[in-house]
């Protein structure tokens, strides 16, 4: 999990943010996420929703497209719940 968070912070690729959202929803790896919460919230605040939408739609099924459109807000909410 620590490696996944570091990849997100360094690469800032759309799928890294989606993976983080998925892990938070499953309540996986929280012990690694909680200490990085404020830094991750800052990264999420800087996300370009249009770029996320464009890039993730190529990799995810149609059933996940609604999640993609709301990813920055949904990810922020999940992080704040910690």
**DSSP 8-class letter at 63:** G
pLDDT digits (tens, 9 = 90+) for 49-66: 888 999 999 999 999 999
pLDDT digits (tens, 9 = 90+) for 2-46: 899 999 999 999 999 999 999 999 999 999 999 999 999 999 999
- Is residue 39 within 8 Å of residue 9, measured between CB atoms? yes
Q: Look up the pTM and report it.
A: 0.90
């Amino acid at each position: 999990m620590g490696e996944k968070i570091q990849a997100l912070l360094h690469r800032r690729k759309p799928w890294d943010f989606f993976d983080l959202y998925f892990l938070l929803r499953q309540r996986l790896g929280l012990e690694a996420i909680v200490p990085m919460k404020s830094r991750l919230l800052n990264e999420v605040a800087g996300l370009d929703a249009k770029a996320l939408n464009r890039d993730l739609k190529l990799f995810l099924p149609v059933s996940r497209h609604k999640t993609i459109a709301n990813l920055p807000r949904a990810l922020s909410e999940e992080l704040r719940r910690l």
